[in-house]
Structure formats: C-alpha cells, structure tokens
Structure 1
Amino acid sequence: MAACNFTIPFTGDAEAVLGKAQRAVEKQSGSFTGDTNAGNFSVAFFGQEIVGTYTVAGSDLNIVIESKPFMVPCNAIESFLKSQIV
C-alpha cells in the first residue's frame, strides 16, 4: 500500500512541469526517470529515502509516494513538490 497519493493540477506543457520536478529532485541529490506519461523518483531525506512514481493524465500530475520516513507527513511532501513545479 502506498504511503501517500495526491494530484497536482498544472497548466501548460507537461514536459516543462516534469522538467521542474526533475530539477527539484536532482537538486536534493535524488534520481528522476521517466517521460511525459509516467516515471519514478527517489530522494534521500536525513538518511532515509522518499520513493515515488508519477503519471500524467491531461493536466494532472498524479503522484504516489511508495515509501517515506515515518516522521515526514504526506502534506509536507505535497507542499514541497507544488512549490517547485506550479
């Protein structure tokens, strides 16, 4: 079962939005792979990993966080990603 699920609506080009997401993840020394349809990412956070997948449906970026540190709430991850990509 996934740790978190959320959707981030966006305007404009999916490729540009995903580019922002990729830069945000890689800035934190994480990895980001995929295309404008789907992909996955992981990033270390205080020695533990946040691991997730994404899919694009129209102008919605659907994110599933598969694993995360217990102390990191889902809304903190969602807020961070929103601040970086919309």
Structure 2
Amino acid sequence: MTKCNFNINFTEPVDKLIEKAKNGITSIGGTFEGNMKKGIYSIPTQAGKVTGNYLVKENSIVFEIIDKPALVSCKKIENELRKYLSSTSEALLSFD
C-alpha cells in the first residue's frame, strides 16, 4: 500500500537530476536502480528504511513512497528530496 506520493518539478536535464538522486541516496547507504524514465530506491533513516519508486513525466518526477517508518512523515521525505534535488551543493540527504 502506498504511504504517500508527490511531484517535484525540474528544469535541469533529467539525466543530471537522476544521477544526483542516485549519488545522494547511495552515498548515505541507500539503494537506487533506475533510468531516465523510472526506477526504485531505498533510503536509510535512523527510524528504518523509506522505500519507493519514481516515474519521470515531462518536467516532473512523481515519487511514490511504498513503505516508510511511522516516525518519518511524508512531508519530511518530500521536503528533504526537494531540498536536496534543488540544491547546487553536494550536501547529504538527512532524515534526522
């Protein structure tokens, strides 16, 4: 059962955005499998794993959270992904 979903709009090339997401997720011990159209991911948090998938549609990415710890809100996941993907720095994703 889906826990939540949201869209993130983008203006940069989708291949660069997907590469950034992959690097960010794997750099904190998560998994990422996908391409410029769709994929799946798992993000570790102190409360447990966030798992989901994504689908690229024109100039937005639809994120679907399939499972998450009760202590990690959908809003927190969305905010962290938005902040990370829109940043120009290489800061780490953080769900603390």
**TM-based fold match above 0.5:** yes
1:66 counterpart residue number: 66
> 1:9 is matched by which residue type in structure 2?
N
State the shift of 1:47 in Å: 5.4
Unaligned runs of 5+ in 1: none
Runs of 4+ in structure 1 over 3 Å off: none
What TM-score results when the alignment is normalised by the length of structure 2? 0.85
* Structure-1 separation of matches of 2:69 and 2:32: 19
Q: Displacement of 1:23 after TM fit?
A: 1.4
Instruction: Map Cα deviations across residues 21-72 of structure 1 (whole Å, 9 max, x no partner).
Output: 1111112100001000000000221251110100000010000000000011
Q: Alignment partner of 2:21: what SS?
A: helix
Secondary structure in structure 1 of the residue aligned to 2:56: strand
Give matches, 1:49-60, under 5 Å: 49-60=49-60
* Shift, 1:19, TM fit: 1.0
The structure that is strand-richer by fraction is 1
Corresponding position of 1:44: 44
CA shift at 1:3, angstroms? Answer: 0.5
Alignment of structure 1 residues 4-23 onto 2, 5 Å: 4-23=4-23
**Gapped regions of structure 2 (runs ≥ 5):** 87-96
Relative contact order (C-alpha < 8 Å, sep 6+): which is higher?
1
Q: CA RMSD in A?
A: 1.0
- Among the aligned pairs, what percent are the same residue? 29
* Partner Cα separation in structure 2 for residue 44 and residue 16 of structure 1: 23
Other-structure match for 1:24? 24
